[in-house]
């Protein structure tokens, strides 16, 4: 089977794409993107992601999740709490047949976002509840782990999570290799091409445990410019260069990894509910 690129983690429902999404999609297709696993950060995005699946049924594969950081009253983010999850919980089950993953979920213990023990405890409670939802629905999880890589992996292991993507992973190689033992997969966005900080990490993780992502509209090649799914080609080439492989090899293996991790993607692309 011939594989195109799989963007395992992007935010097509972001407001940054409202004006020209058809053009963004066209550029992605022209770049060879076959699947866009589209995740959410808060419950207000859930319906938009489902509408995107209906609009681009052969491309968009939806995930629902409540992120560890939520929009605050100003431009600043705040740590998630259990009340943020209340409205989301019934929707996971209502739309279970349309989902390919639970995400974006996880932990963000960055000091200025989670300054108190209560913040971290709330994040952990929200994370664990969504891990339980994923297990009940037999779905993989699409996971954020900033300043919390080790505890994120340990928590998933403790709760028996077997299928997980750790997106934009920036933990220590030793921590990543513990995740590899658990069968977890790690993805990297184009932002890793800006410097060599994660070269050692990428070099040590086996290619069979790597996927590609863009995290668009964030984490692109240029820090202050909107990122989009077509930029996935750059991170593919970067990983290939680090590992001494061809970009074609990285494209095929990472796509295979993605479809193994997210098996419902193929089902979704074949049959999309119309209501």
Query: How high is the pLDDT of residue 269?
Result: 63
If residue 237 lies in a helix (H) or strand (E), which one and from where to where? helix 232-243
Q: Hey, which residues does 268 pair with through a beta bridge? A: none
| Cα 110 to Cα 223: distance, rounded to the nearest angstrom | 20
Phi, psi dihedral angles at 107 (to 5 degrees): -135, 140
Task: Please state whether 14 falls in left (phi above 0), alpha (psi between -120 and 50) or beta.
Answer: beta
265, 59 contact by CB (below 8 A): no
Name every residue whose Cβ is closer than 8 Å to that of residue 51 and which is 6 or more positions away in sequence: none
Q: Which CATH class is domain 5-270?
A: alpha beta
pLDDT along the chain (275 residues), means of 10: 88 96 98 98 97 96 98 80 97 97 98 95 98 98 98 98 98 97 98 96 98 97 95 98 98 98 83 46
Cβ atoms 17, 217 nearer than 8 A: yes
Identify whether the C-beta of residue 156 lies closer than 8 Å to the C-beta of residue 143. yes
Whether 212 and 235 have beta carbons less than 8 Å apart is answered as yes
Q: Map out the domains of the chain as residue ranges.
A: 5-270
């Amino acid at each position: 089977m011939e594989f195109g690129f799989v963007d395992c983690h992007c935010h097509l429902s972001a407001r940054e794409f409202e004006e020209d999404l058809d053009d963004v999609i066209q550029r992605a297709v022209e770049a060879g993107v076959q699947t866009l696993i589209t995740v959410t950060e808060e419950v207000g995005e859930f319906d938009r992601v489902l509408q995107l699946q209906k609009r681009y049924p052969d491309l968009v594969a939806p995930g629902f999740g409540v992120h560890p950081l939520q929009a605050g009253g100003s431009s600043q983010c705040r740590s998630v709490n259990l009340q943020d999850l209340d409205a989301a919980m019934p929707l996971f089950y209502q739309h279970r047949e349309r989902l390919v993953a639970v995400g974006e979920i996880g932990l963000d213990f960055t000091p200025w976002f989670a300054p108190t023990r209560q913040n971290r405890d709330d994040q952990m409670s929200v994370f664990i509840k969504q891990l339980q939802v994923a297990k009940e629905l037999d779905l993989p999880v699409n996971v954020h782990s900033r300043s919390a890589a080790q505890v994120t992996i340990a928590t998933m292991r403790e709760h028996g999570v077997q299928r997980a993507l750790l997106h934009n992973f920036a933990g220590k190689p030793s921590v990543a290799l513990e995740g590899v033992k658990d069968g977890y997969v790690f993805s990297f966005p184009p932002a890793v091409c800006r410097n060599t900080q994660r070269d050692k990490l990428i070099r040590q993780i086996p290619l069979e445990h790597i996927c590609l992502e863009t995290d668009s509209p964030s984490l692109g090649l240029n820090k202050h410019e909107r990122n989009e799914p077509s930029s996935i080609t750059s991170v593919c080439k970067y990983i290939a260069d680090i590992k001494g492989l061809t970009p074609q090899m990285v494209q095929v293996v990472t796509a295979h990894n993605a479809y193994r991790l997210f098996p419902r993607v193929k089902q979704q692309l074949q049959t999309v509910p119309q209501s």
